[in-house]
A = this chain, B = another copy of it.
Amino acid sequence: MVKSGDRVVLYGEDGKKFIVKVESGGKKGTHLGVIEFDEIIGKEFGDIVTIGKTQKSYYILPPTYIDDVFSMKRKTQIIYPKDSSYILMKLDIKPGTRVIETGVGSGAMCAAMARLVSENGKVYAYERREEFYNLALNNLTEWGLADRVELRLKDISMGFDHSNVDALLLDVPDPENYIHLCWEALGGGGRLGVICPTVNQVSAVLEKLYEYPFINVEVWESLMRQYKPYPNRLRPVDRMVAHTTFMIFARKVNKFLPTQMDQQDESQVIEQNGQNENLKIE
């Protein structure tokens, strides 16, 4: 049942959605008419509400992370769900995880992590620009996640304040300059993720990564394609997102067993790809 204070998605017949926080007695003027919140409060999720004078009907849904991200206030490019979902898995974010994220931007990725780390984990989030720091703080507060995030207004070129973290996501314009700081902040076996929109950045980061004890270095890109959901005329959509970012992953070790990257042949690279492994000591 929808209660006062809940955030709800209003989902129209045309597939358009928007999110409102319904406070008892409140209302919100929209181009569709005035939404009286008391008409929503007390309804069940999945029910229908009809808005004011336009009499347009909306389904009432609980917001998912994707709903939140696409309705949030933002001033920056966000990490797309196709990428953020894979990052969460590669960085192994789960209840109890302690993870550093930087830069924070509008706070979308920070929220994705904060939702999963639960009360006994923590997201240490660094943002150097006050404007984004404030925006992210507002968004995280709106989503009820602020208590799981330690948000710092700080330039990471001066180093991270936290150490021995389980995972670290580096999403800054010049990631190659902070690889050594990432190594220092991570605990042994910790997972590093780096966001690189261009291939030149990927090269620069890889070069730095091999200077420090990082292993299991992988570079990935994700292409998600949607289909037109017509049973009798099923086909992919006409246009799709061609690129958002490359993702680099690696794991910190405490010191290096020298492996000569240049001697690795391709089969080794393939082996390093977890998706092709089915290795079992038995």
- Given A59-B253, A94-B116, A224-B221, are A269 and B229 also a contact pair (CB < 8 Å)? yes
A70 to B248, CA, bound (A): 20
Q: How far is the CB of A209 from chain B (nearest CB, A)?
A: 8
- Whole-angstrom distance between the Cβ of A44 and the nearest chain B Cβ: 5
Q: Count identical subunits in the complex.
A: 4
Assembled-state Cα–Cα distance A254/B57 (Å): 14
Q: How large is the interface on A (under 10, 10 to 19, 20 to 34, 35 or more residues)?
A: 35 or more
User: Are B223 and A223 neighbours in the complex by a CB distance under 8 Å?
Assistant: yes
> In whole Å, how far is A27's beta carbon from the nearest beta carbon of chain B?
12
Cβ of A11 within 8 Å of any chain B Cβ, yes or no, is yes
For the complex, is A135 an interface residue (Cβ under 8 Å from B)? no
Q: How many angstroms from the CA of A71 to the CA of B85 in the assembled complex?
A: 22
Tell me whether A158 is interfacial, beta carbon within 8 Å. Answer: no
Interface assignment of A153: CB less than 8 Å from any CB of chain B = no
Chain A 58-98 residues near chain B, CB threshold 8 A: 59-62, 64-67, 69-71, 73-74, 80-82, 84-86, 88-90, 92, 94-95
Neighbouring B residues of A268 by C-beta, 8 Å: 14-15
Q: Is A54 an interface residue (CB 8 A)?
A: no
* Beta-carbon nearest neighbor of A273 in chain B: B226
Q: Is the CB of B257 within 8 A of A17?
A: no
Residues of B near A190 (CB, < 8 A) are 46
Contact B242 A239 (CB under 8 A): yes
Q: Is A177 an interface residue (CB 8 A)?
A: no
- Closest-CB distance, A274 to chain B (whole angstroms): 5
Cβ B224 vs Cβ A274 within 8 A: no
Q: A59-B215, A189-B61 are in contact. Are A203 and B202 (CB under 8 A)?
A: no
- For A141, the chain B residues whose CB sits under 8 A away are none
If A224-B221, A281-B18 touch, does A203 touch B234 (CB 8 Å cutoff)? yes
Q: Is A53 an interface residue (CB 8 A)?
A: no
Collect the chain B residues with CB atoms within 8 Å of residue A20's CB. 281
Q: A187-B46, A226-B273, A279-B16 are in contact. Are A207 and B231 (CB under 8 A)?
A: yes
A225 CB-CB contact with B under 8 Å: yes
**Listed A/B pairs (25) with beta-carbon separation below 8 Å:** A9-B189, A11-B216, A16-B271, A28-B281, A45-B188, A59-B253, A59-B257, A61-B188, A61-B253, A69-B274, A70-B274, A70-B278, A70-B279, A82-B275, A85-B86, A95-B118, A198-B235, A199-B199, A200-B234, A206-B230, A217-B229, A221-B225, A230-B261, A239-B241, A239-B270
